[in-house]
């Protein structure tokens, strides 16, 4: 039996949140979308999504800082955390993996690849 996906998206771009909402709804995947790290950390204090899709460049705490706070506070310790960003170089993917992220998706994200990619992270 496969684990049902529950996803937390943290992105300050309303268009990205809308796109994820559309894709997740189409696949009947539970999605919570928030616009900043502080709101996400509050959400994680009482919820356990199994995937967190986290923009690296956010107002306030950035994606790396949020990941550190999550680990420090043991929030969603079993969640797979995927970094997303529109600002990347050839080294960004390796930097995110070295920084503790479980996966990486550059923007713009191919909508056909989102769900298979997230499912592959859960499958191990």
Task: Please write the tens of the pLDDT for every residue from 56-96.
Answer: 999 999 999 999 999 999 999 999 999 999 988 889 999 99
Q: Are 83 and 102 in contact (CB under 8 A)?
A: no
| CATH number, domain with residue 77 | 3.40.50.2300
Q: In this structure, is residue 21 part of a structural domain?
A: yes
Percent of the chain whose pLDDT exceeds 70: 98
Domain that holds residue 12: 6-116
User: Counting beta carbons within 10 angstroms of the beta carbon of residue 17, is it exposed (0 to 12), middle (13 to 18) or buried (19 or more)?
Assistant: middle
pLDDT at 1 over 60: no
Q: In this structure, is residue 93 part of a structural domain?
A: yes
Q: In this structure, is residue 124 part of a structural domain?
A: no
Q: How confident is the model at residue 124 (pLDDT cuts 50, 70, 90)?
A: confident
| Residues constituting the chain | 124
Number of domains in the chain: 1
Residue 81: count other Cβ atoms within 10 Å of its Cβ.
24
Q: In this structure, is residue 87 part of a structural domain?
A: yes
Q: Averaged over 27-45, what is the pLDDT?
A: 98
Q: In this structure, is residue 28 part of a structural domain?
A: yes
pLDDT at 2 over 70: no
DSSP assignment of 46-74: T---SEEEEESS-SSS-HHHHHHHHHHTT
Residue 63: count other Cβ atoms within 10 Å of its Cβ.
26
């Amino acid at each position: 039996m496969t684990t049902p996906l529950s996803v937390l998206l943290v992105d300050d771009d309303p268009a990205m949140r809308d796109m994820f909402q559309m894709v997740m709804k189409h696949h009947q995947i539970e999605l919570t979308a928030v616009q900043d790290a502080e709101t996400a950390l509050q959400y994680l204090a009482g919820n356990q999504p199994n995937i967190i899709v986290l923009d690296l460049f956010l107002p306030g705490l950035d994606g790396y800082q949020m990941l550190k706070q999550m680990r420090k506070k043991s929030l969603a310790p079993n969640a797979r955390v995927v970094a997303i960003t529109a600002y990347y170089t050839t080294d960004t993917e390796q930097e995110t993996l070295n920084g503790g992220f479980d996966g990486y998706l550059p923007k713009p994200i191919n909508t056909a690849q989102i769900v298979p990619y997230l499912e592959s992270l859960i499958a191990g």
